[in-house]
Amino acid sequence: MSDTTFAGSDKQQTLAEQIFQIMTKQAILFAADAPIRQTLTNLAEYLGSQHATDTSTMAKEIEAALQANPNVFTREERDDDIIYTTSRQGSYQPSSNLPSHMFKKRLFEPDNPLPVDDISVVVTTTRPALTTVEPVYISDYWQREAGLLPRLPPEGEDDYEGVVEDIDDIGHVETVVPGIVHAEVETVTEVVEEVPSVSSPGTIMALPNGIQIDLHRSVEDLFGQYENTLVAQLRTAFENDPLRQIVSFGDEVFPEASATNFGKNDMRRIRDYLVEMGEPLLDTQIISDIFYHNPRQTDYDAFRFSLNYRLSREKDFEFVGVHKAHLWSTRGMPSIASKRIKAGEMGQITGYIEEGFDESLQEQSAKSIRQSGVLIHILTFFEWEYGILPFTRAMATLLPSALLPDQRTAVLRFESPQHYTTTLVELRYPTGNRGGWLAGFEVFFREHLVPGALITLARTEDPHIFTVTYEEQDETTERLLVQDEKKNKLAFADVTYFCAVDNDMLLTQQRYGRLRNLKVLPMNERRKGETVMEHVFGTVGEPMGTKSEPRYYALLDELVVALNVLRPASPSYVAELLRSGEYFEADETTPGAWYYTPPPTLSDELEKDNEYDEYDDEYDT
């Protein structure tokens, strides 16, 4: 490590030095002048957990410390995040060496080029396919290292007993597929005792994160213990290869020289076809309908990989598929999610999930969801009104994860066996401190369900297709809470439904009559959980004080139901809002009971709402 000095205050110097040590330790095997990059989000989350500090606060401290040392850290804004770059020598300077004296330059641009009398003298960078299978001999030393031959005894000791008499008959290796070597060993029947394998120092590989892997072990054992680490190292090696000899898509890799090229005309045809169909399509359907390839052709798998890889490099196309179901979308296609809520607002509203306020696995464990492939969920009013389901840990256990590292969206298909309908649903994966959600159920929920309905989500054999069902019951009519979109207010109306419901979550006028006085706040105000909590408590709480000094009383379960009218919230998140709120006080005599004393600025407004509430009750009577 270089003798790097840091500027700023003492606290900023200490923080900058700590970040520099973290980044250089991660790149201990990098060259001294190689760039080391790290995002501000990753640094804030890691150091925030180390210093027991909020992520946003830690991000501001990191920004101040690193900006005070511009000679060590280079700042770059990319997409929605900030990336800092340094190197092991203290600062990163892009290389400015001219390639005029490099071997590659002199090889392809000689001073006296050869005359092209025949096409055979032309030098190409493409390696020709091997037409014959040539045997390859592996020495006894490497066969002993690989465990194919017993090891020789140390000098001065007797030979091992039971070793095969004639070792020269072993070691015939044959190449079956060009580029892939398969070892084929002739076995000898007379083996009295198997010699145990012993690891040698030459078979130990140390990874940048400090993990040491013994390559003498079998492939099954290595991947069983280090699969994620090895896959990450291979993926990093492929991405950092300047020649890009091996390219990858998802969990598949392929030689770049053998990948099929697609021209601008092919990309235009694919884009026009997607726009015409009006929904994302599988790669297999694109290959079949546009290029007329079928799985019986020998180059089908290579052609399919090439198509996915080329589309992932185009800006006009977006991958919205999952593992074993590669779906593609493009610009100009109709939106699946509701236009009533912006993606940025919804991400902040569901941010409580990423903050740890998620107890969705208490009713159903992750193990039972994985084994059965079924998840039971109770609809809240917000979910029913906007057709949105939060991407909780229970949902993440049931639904597939993202295939690509930078993938933000996946399109799933939910089928309803009870009504023979299909619904396209957009799954937004969580990013940073923003939560994820599923959108697109608005029509299905409005037509067949009510708030408080019990729904069942289940997997199918196709990884991107799921089913949504509910338990049917006799016809029931009750006055339930609804939202008048024209007047933008809440009211109670007679609703007939045929689905089984949870009575505690069913918003009837008899039990939750005060909910009509809730103001339908704009989405940008619903992001603030504390503000929404004060408004909900002051509306649905039972008045306990006077007009000059109002005070309200409510139970935690009632506040959970009421808060979910305006925004999704878990019981633990509601409890945290009450504990951290300035105007909330717990009732020491009754568990789960709370008091709310509004600030003076809100007293007049809440009194006015209560007068309307009393008038409505007299009118209903």
Domain with residue 65: its CATH number is 1.10.10
Last residue of a domain, one of 275, 295, 330: 330
407/431 Cα distance (integer angstroms): 10
In a domain, 585, yes or no: yes
Let me know if residue 246 belongs to a domain: no
pLDDT, residue 216, reads 80
Residues 150 and 228 in one domain: no
- Which residues face 470 on adjacent strands? 455
Residue 338 included in any domain: no
| pLDDT tens figures, 190-201 | 444 444 444 555
Q: Is residue 614 part of a domain?
A: yes
What would the pLDDT profile of 431-441 be if each residue is shown by its tens digit? 988 999 999 99
Question: Which of 23, 53, 86 represents a domain boundary (last residue)?
Answer: 86
- For residue 244, is pLDDT > 60? yes
**CB count, 10 Å around CB of 196?**
7
Are 170 and 211 in a shared domain?
no
Tell me, yes or no, whether 291 and 233 share the same domain: no
Q: Which secondary-structure segment (H or E) carries 448?
A: helix 442-448
Same domain, yes or no: 532 and 604: yes
pLDDT reported for residue 112: 59
Tell me, yes or no, whether 351 and 440 share the same domain. Answer: yes
Half-sphere exposure of 162 (CA within 13 A, CB side): 7
Q: Total domain count for the chain?
A: 6
pLDDT in tens, 16-58: 888 888 888 888 888 888 888 888 888 888 888 888 888 888 8
- DSSP letters of 194-221? PPPP---GGGEEE-TTS-EEETTS-HHH
Q: What is the pLDDT of residues 109-154, one digit of tens each?
A: 555 555 555 445 445 555 555 455 555 566 677 777 766 677 766 6
Q: Are residues 288 and 325 in the same domain?
A: yes
Q: Are residues 451 and 381 in the same domain?
A: yes
Domain that holds residue 256: 252-330
Q: Say whether pTM exceeds 0.75.
A: no
Would you say residue 247 lies in a domain? no
234 lies in the same domain as 274? no
| Whether residue 355 sits in one domain with residue 459 | yes
In this structure, are 422 and 444 located in the same domain?
yes
Q: Is residue 153 part of a domain?
A: yes
Q: Do 384 and 458 belong together in one domain?
A: yes
SS3 for 30?
coil
Kindly state whether residue 20 falls inside one of the protein's structural domains: yes
Top pLDDT among 223 and 138 is at 223
Cβ neighbours of 496 (radius 10 Å):
10
Question: Pick from 458, 475, 492: which residue ends a domain?
Answer: 475
Query: How does residue 615 score in pLDDT terms, banded at 50, 70 and 90?
Result: very low
Question: Is 502 part of a structural domain of the chain?
Answer: no
On whether both 173 and 221 belong to a single domain, the answer is no
